[in-house]
Structure 1
């Protein structure tokens, strides 16, 4: 019989090796994994409502000041006058924006910007109390406390009023601008026109392509897989005001005034994940450099601070729930840009195909206004690798979106999109 090298160790060596392996296993496991306050003992405080990371600098917008840390939270310095209510932050490339809600100490409310990594800030022409900011590479939207929404396309040099009479929290995803307040509204034309997509009252929203989450003041989280056309309720905790929503890969985070909830299955089910936070209000959530950061905004059971935790500690939440993202993939069409026709590839894993009747896949093409122009595939997939040729000879030149949607028999939804450019 063949004997392994491990088996030929002397008895004393075997026991020593077993002991060392036990120690290594023990120290490799997360012991009492919990949220760590990185601002504890520093000057940070006064209701932290928004957080942001950029170029290895952390920003925490609070009631007292805009706090800035260049050592990842060990120490913080305050910007603006005391009680500026710096509750809104956004970044556009290397330009940072901060919205002040309050005028104090001779400093006016409004939108300020920095092009020097937050070391100094200058005013912009918008000098109204700011409630919310949302930015893309080319646009910045600002919502005011008196119900106005402004837009700048020149890095804050000028602002145009696009909406009036709608107090809201803003979220921008591509061409889709969401406004959460007395209902959730969606605009696809930079705030000129709005569609009411959910009539509940709430002030937190997160969107990623067609996937939308909406949190309400009575403890509900709604989930939509089709831009808010249909909704399901995925969390219902009466009394737990939902203040913040965030998604990172398959993880969805919900900050409430009773603590933090996390989903590991794209927001279909949530678990309470509040270690060391107490019943504090989680006002904002972000991912930065391998960690999840939280901001809390009341003094209920723990001090106001910024908290962090490695995202690797959180991926074990509900690991038994399978993820469709591992089973479906949409690849970029080729060629792209294309003239008249292009080939589209997508893969479906064998496990998805063989897991039972009821799994369903659609592949569609939409124009820039989200109008469906072609349906390339609909039904139950029969082979793991597919390609389709798309004939666009009847379409005009322009940008189109290719969208793959997969629904399994448990009604879990995965969707992915690719941008295509038709040039004739």
Structure 2
């Protein structure tokens, strides 16, 4: 009876030596980043701006300069409010803080009805009260005497799940979905003491915003799932005197969607997807506001604060008008967040190391082992860097830039994409082999041939052809018109410019990065580095002991390791090639003869370990020596196959475990295991005792 595959653990025994990776010298980059503030209040002649990403800022000179407040405390600001002489700041997932001395000191607000895990969704001021909305308990109101009360009396239970809220002109207006997803509109003119439900308009569009001027309620719409066209998009008004809804003029495709509404002093302002609109006749006619407001840009919101109007664009620029909307001034030019940028990527050639910083900082390069850095002449804002081949550099930005002079000049080409030969394909690496571009992708290999590299700038680069699909292509190098590719199944080679591929070495290893240096081949996985002379494959191996390794590059006789995780993106370690090579050669020697060890423990139940050694391969081009290790019963019947593949030189161990579904019926007794490798064959005895 032959038993199929069992649970195995097969490892090549590596040397464990400190590879002496050290911190690389990196250029200190500090730059100004848009603070992305979107909540604003005015308090004691000071403008406060809250950002969900970068905390709280204030300006005492009408927005000319801004200062960040308590960046150690305030990270994600979801709302801010001023009540009497106190400024309240709602920090996402932390709670509400307040100050009564313009930010010199802060205290956390003790909110009844909420435990430590019941976070606040919104805080705002209404008629002298502080109002808190929480999706857990609904609406709470605090008086000037710090007395709290729940103000959900006239609201249904579903009012805890508010998806639109407006606080303007002393009125609170909310839109909710009930349990059956039916929408309702409620309004209160006495700070939540009483709520009044309005009839919901008969529209198919989604309500994007709501406004209440005390006499009328306005809603702005965007195209909903039930809509079949943009024609009904616009502004609708409910008259509390006439008790009905009507659509105001304007809208449709010209507005695309209405993002916000603000009504005051006989003027109605509309923030649309492409402009700020104003009406002075109750919505009968509209005009585009242009005096200081950029044209054809999406307006995110409109706020009225102490008689001033604030308009926020989706690119986070903030404009203010102090004359009722006649003129506008950008007050956010200096509303920035100072940050030390992290590293997005690294890349290397023989002579230069490239480092890409995020934001608008760009690419830096060094030619003296990271001692001195200079800004690279690459006007690319979002780079993913790949360096392939000793003479050619690639920078990928949804399609790479290629350089034939080691980064001095760049030409943009098109990699597989758009007209790619297979769907869902992305390029992991790319190299030039003679006049053919070879791309290693998540689906294998695609190639694109050229007769003259100088015509790369032409549109010919769309002619990609799939040539290999048996493994994920991770990395590529080229030597004397031979292409080497690291894959998730080992190293492959091609001698016909990427058309056909054959297994070369390190079968089963997920080779991420390959380098040819001084006739030695260096193959990196995320955990190890393998080293061998190219002329005669005999691999040494070393555990890297680097946490969160993301990439390895080579430059100026050094390896650079780009490491990081979600919290620490952007560190770079370095190690000399000589150091790694000498450590490896001293630390590990390969067996010179075949050897099969006695299993241990013996007798065993349920598992035992078998070790064996393979000397240098006689067939390196086939991926090593073909090894077979099988288990037989006393009658000579095969019961398990432990190894059945090509193996590189080294010492291995395999665990034979009988506590599996396939092995459950295997009885106690004597068994034999036999190793066959090339012309070598050896058999030993083991005993299972259940």
Q: Give the TM-score category using the shorter length.
A: 0.3 to 0.5
Q: TM-score, normalised by structure 2?
A: 0.29
TM-score of the superposition, structure 1-length normalised? 0.44
Larger radius of gyration: 2
